[in-house]
Amino acid sequence: MALLQISEPGMSTAPHQHRLAVGIDLGTTNSLVATVRNGISVVLNDENGRAMLPSVVRYTADGQIIVGEAAQTMQSQDTANTISSVKRFMGRGLHDMGEITRFPYRFVEAPALGKTAGMLQLRTVAGVKSPVEISAEILNVLRRQAEASLGGELVGAVITVPAYFDDAQRQATKDAARLAGINVLRLLNEPTAAAIAYGLDNASEGVYAVYDLGGGTFDISILRLSRGVFEVLATNGDSALGGDDFDHRIYCWLLEKSNLSALPPQDTRLLLTHARAAKEQLTEHGEARITAMLSSGVLIDHVLTQAEFFVLSKNLVQNTLQPLRRALRDAGLKVGDINGVVMVGGATRMPQIQQAVGDFFGQTPLTNLDPDKVVALGAAIQANVLAGNRSGDDWLLLDVIPLSLGIETMGGLVEKIIPRNSTLPTARAQEFTTYKDGQTAMSIQVVQGERELVSDCRSLARFELRGIPAMVAGAARIRVTFQVDADGLLSVAAREMRSGVEAAIEVKPAYGLSDADIMRMLQESGQHAADDMQARALREQQIEGHQLLEAVENALEQNGNLLNVTEQAQVRTQMHDLRAALQQSNHQVLKHATEALNQATTEFAQRRMDQSVNSVLAGRTLESIE
- The whole-angstrom distance between residue 107's C-alpha and the CA centroid of its chain comes to 47
For residue 323, is the peptide bond before it cis, meaning its omega torsion is within 30 degrees of 0? Answer: no
Per-residue buried b or exposed e for 431-447, using 16+ beta carbons within 10 Å of the residue's own CB: ebbbeeeebbebebbbb
Q: Which of 51, 89, 145, 159 is nearest to 375 (CA)?
A: 159
Q: Which of 461, 472, 451, 470 is nearest to 494 (CA)?
A: 461
Say which DSSP state 123 is in.
E
Cα-based distances in Å from 247 to 157, 277, 355, 416, 495: 44, 9, 19, 32, 22
Query: Can 212 be counted among the known catalytic residues?
Result: yes
Would you say the C-alpha torsion 82, 85, 86, 89 has a positive or negative sign?
negative
114 Ramachandran zone, left/alpha/beta (phi>0; psi -120 to 50): left
Give the number of C-alpha atoms closer than 13 A to the C-alpha of residue 555, restricted to the C-beta side. Answer: 29
Say which DSSP state 575 is in.
H
Q: Work out the angle at residue 221's Cα, subtended by the Cα atoms of residues 219 and 222, and round it to the nearest 5 degrees.
A: 160
Which of the following is catalytic: 133, 137, 175, 190? Answer: 190
Three-state DSSP class for residue 540: helix
Task: Determine what percent of the chain falls in helix, strand and coil, rounding each to the nearest 5.
Answer: 40, 25, 35
- By residue count, the chain amounts to 626
Q: Which residue(s) pair with 231 in the sheet?
A: 224
Q: How do strand 206-213 and strand 340-344 relate by DSSP bridges? A: parallel
Query: Can 284 be counted among the known catalytic residues?
Result: no
Q: Which of 362, 358, 360, 339 is nearest to 350 (CA)?
A: 358
Please tell me the distance from the alpha carbon of residue 461 to that of residue 33, in angstroms, as a whole number. Answer: 31
Please tell me the distance from the alpha carbon of residue 609 to that of residue 603, in angstroms, as a whole number. Answer: 10
CB 228 within 8 A of CB 29: yes
Per-residue buried b or exposed e for 139-175, using 16+ beta carbons within 10 Å of the residue's own CB: bbbbbebbbebbeeebbbbbbbbbeebeeebbebbbb
Which of the following is catalytic: 137, 212, 247, 502? Answer: 212
Question: Annotated catalytic sites, by residue?
Answer: 25, 87, 190, 212
